[in-house]
């Protein structure tokens, strides 16, 4: 890490770790969508994933490390950016079309950190065989039941959707920033990259947000 | 008969580097709409001098939009509301009668205010000295056709060379980053065969100096591109990023 000194070094560390996290978000989403297949499909997927241990511990450790490096590098960049303009303007104006996603990056990022902590407590570090997995019909549904009990709660559902909006907003700027920070495309493709990035951000947010909505709508089937 | 307008100016006044500075309000009356923005300030200054007051200090040189000396943030936009136009080429016909105009200096740690609207942009000179040049054997001009340059490269290099180093990119950037300026210079030299020789040292040297001068880090808002009076593209930043990475990997 001693070689990560310059502004561009740090930006490229953020971009590289960001790409890893984007891939994780997409893979996680693919797994989540098994919820639409019912308890057997969803729990079956979870069992298969758990069957990959102990190799999975290695992936989880790498993911945690990448997450922390992403946070560390972005925190340094944000602090440097704040210091770079000690006296602000009286009158602000955005001429670049006013992308709120780019300006909100540190805030959507902070929201995602808070969400991840809550999410792990809520769904990962729980006893799946215990009462958390039992639905109102009195039967235990394992992880499927845990997800239904959590997201079946309207407050949890709304918080989850709010967090997914933060993820989508973060990614809509993050994906195009990854391309730009590694200089992967030239001038003519940049507008297309922006459109694809914004589209993917919205798509990912919508796909994740569909889950609590579906849980709410289908919760009655387990009474 | 030329049209005239009356304006209210909120101008940043700061005696020197140590002064905290404040906004002061001035009336600019009977301003000919064919005047440039700087000529309007000249009129205000003439009156201030007659009243025995200190005129508003601002940088200017060619007043033809090609030197990069002038610039102030007008109503929140570097060089004012016209796209691809320097402050000296902004005309008062762009404003309406009785408008209120806020005029501020570039705001960045790398550009400390010297006085009023004048900022010290020698940080850009330092960045240029760290690699913004080509070391050539001087002597008689070589035969032009001995070094072929691809048409597209020549065009893109020339587009980047349009940068006049005014600093509007830094002023517009939410992070006060100078990456559009450095990207333009890296592209301008690096796209030409004469500049390729020192490309790796150039990008590393200029980026290191840019960081040392206290500019922020690009976070891809692209406010710089929108503010640039010469329309420098943010693809120059992408090229700088790419060249920087390849210089690191080549080490």
CATH number at residue B196: 1.10.1060.10
Which chain B residues are closer than 8 Å to A181 by Cβ? Answer: 220, 241
Q: Are strands B118-119 and B113-115 parallel, antiparallel or unpaired?
A: antiparallel
Would B114 be classed as within a structural domain? Answer: no
pLDDT at position B144: 82
Looking at the domain A7-82+101-222, which fold is it?
3 helical TM bundles of succinate and fumarate reductases (1.20.1300)
According to the model, what pLDDT value does residue B243 have? 97
User: A82-98 pLDDT, tens per residue?
Assistant: 999 999 999 888 887 76
Nearest residue in B to A82, CA atom: B175
Note whether B171 and B91 are same-domain residues: no
Strand partners, B13: B22
pLDDT beneath 50: ranges in chain A: 1
Domain ranges of chain A: 7-82+101-222
CB A200 within 8 A of CB A172: yes
Q: Using CA coordinates, name the residue in chain B closest to A194.
A: B220
* Rounded CA separation B172/A92 (Å): 9
DSSP per position, A91-130: S----S---HHHHTHHHHHHHHHHHHHHHIIIIISS-TTS
- Cα of B26 to nearest chain A Cα, Å: 17
- How far is Cα A143 from Cα A139, in angstroms, rounded to an integer? 12
For β-strands B118-119 and B77-78, DSSP reports them as unpaired
User: Do B73 and B138 fall within a single domain?
Assistant: no
For an interface test with B, the pick among A14, A183, A188, A191 (most B C-beta atoms closer than 10 Å) comes out as: A183
Q: Is the domain of B94 the same as that of B146? A: no
Average pLDDT, chain B: 96
The verdict on a CB contact (< 8 Å) between B223 and A96 is yes
User: Of B43, B75, B104, which residue sits at a domain end?
Assistant: B104
* Cα→Cα distances A37→A41, A42, A43, A164, B8, Å: 5, 7, 10, 22, 67
Q: Judge whether A135 and A141 are in contact, CB under 8 Å.
A: yes
Q: Does A94 touch chain B (CB under 8 A)?
A: yes
Does B51 fall in a domain?
Answer: yes
Write the residue in A9, A91, A103 that is nearest to B174 by C-beta: A103
Q: Is the pTM of this model over 0.90?
A: yes
Q: B227 contacts in A (CB within 8 Å)?
A: 95
pLDDT for res A1: 44
What domain count does chain B have?
2
Residue B115 C-alpha from the chain's centroid: 17
| Six token digits for residue A136 | 């109102």
Write the ipTM. Answer: 0.93
User: What is the predicted pLDDT for the residue at B142?
Assistant: 81
Examine the fold and report which residue of B58, B78, B104 is the final residue of a domain before the chain moves on.
B104
For residue B16, the enclosing domain spans 4-104
For B150-163, write each residue's pLDDT tens digit.
Answer: 999 999 999 999 99
Give residue-wise pLDDT tens across range B17-38. Answer: 999 999 999 999 999 999 999 9
The 10s digit of each residue's pLDDT in B158-202 is 999 999 999 999 999 999 999 999 999 999 999 999 899 999 999
pLDDT category at B136 given cuts 50, 70, 90 is confident
């Amino acid at each position: 890490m001693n070689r990560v000194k310059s502004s561009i070094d740090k930006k490229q560390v953020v971009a590289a770790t960001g790409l890893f996290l984007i891939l994780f978000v997409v893979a996680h989403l693919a797994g989540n969508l098994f919820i639409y297949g019912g308890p057997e499909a969803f729990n079956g997927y979870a069992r298969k994933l758990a069957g990959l241990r102990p190799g999975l511990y290695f992936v989880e450790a790498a993911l945690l490390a990448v997450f922390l490096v992403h946070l560390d590098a972005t925190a340094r960049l944000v602090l440097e950016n704040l210091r770079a303009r000690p006296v602000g303007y009286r009158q602000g104006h955005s001429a670049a079309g006013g992308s709120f996603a780019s300006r909100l990056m540190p805030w959507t990022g902070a929201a995602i950190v808070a969400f991840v902590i809550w999410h792990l407590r809520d769904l990962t570090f729980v006893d799946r065989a215990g009462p958390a997995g039992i639905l109102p019909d009195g039967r235990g549904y394992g992880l499927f039941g845990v997800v239904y009990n959590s997201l079946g709660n309207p407050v949890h559902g709304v918080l989850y959707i709010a967090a997914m909006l933060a993820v989508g907003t973060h990614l809509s700027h993050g994906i195009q920033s990854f391309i730009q920070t590694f200089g992967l495309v030239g001038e003519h493709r940049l507008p297309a990259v922006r459109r694809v990035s914004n589209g993917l951000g919205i798509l990912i947010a919508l796909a994740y947000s569909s889950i609590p909505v579906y849980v709410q709508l289908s919760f009655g089937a387990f009474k | 008969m030329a049209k005239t307008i009356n304006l209210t100016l909120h101008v940043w006044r700061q005696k020197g580097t140590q002064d905290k500075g404040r906004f002061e309000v001035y009336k600019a009356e009977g301003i000919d709409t064919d005047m440039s923005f700087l000529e309007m300030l000249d009129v205000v200054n003439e009156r201030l001098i007659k009243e025995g007051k200190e005129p508003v200090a601002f940088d200017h040189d060619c007043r033809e939009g090609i030197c990069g000396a002038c610039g102030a943030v007008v109503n929140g936009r570097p060089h004012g509301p016209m796209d691809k136009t320097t402050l000296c080429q902004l005309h008062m016909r762009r404003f309406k009668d009785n408008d209120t105009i806020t005029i501020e200096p570039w705001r960045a740690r790398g550009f400390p205010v010297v006085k009023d609207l004048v900022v010290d942009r020698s940080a850009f000179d330092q960045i240029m000295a760290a690699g913004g040049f080509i070391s050539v054997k001087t002597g008689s001009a070589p035969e032009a056709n001995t070094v072929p340059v691809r048409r597209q490269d020549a065009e893109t290099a020339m587009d980047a060379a349009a940068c006049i180093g005014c600093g509007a990119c830094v002023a517009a950037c939410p992070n006060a980053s100078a990456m559009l300026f450095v990207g333009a210079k890296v592209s301008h030299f690096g796209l030409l065969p004469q500049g390729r020789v020192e490309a790796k040292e150039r990008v590393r040297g200029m980026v290191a100096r840019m960081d040392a001068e206290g500019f922020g880090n690009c976070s891809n808002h692209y406010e710089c591109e929108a503010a640039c009076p010469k329309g420098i593209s943010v693809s120059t930043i992408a090229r700088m990023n790419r060249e920087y990475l390849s210089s690191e990997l080549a080490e």
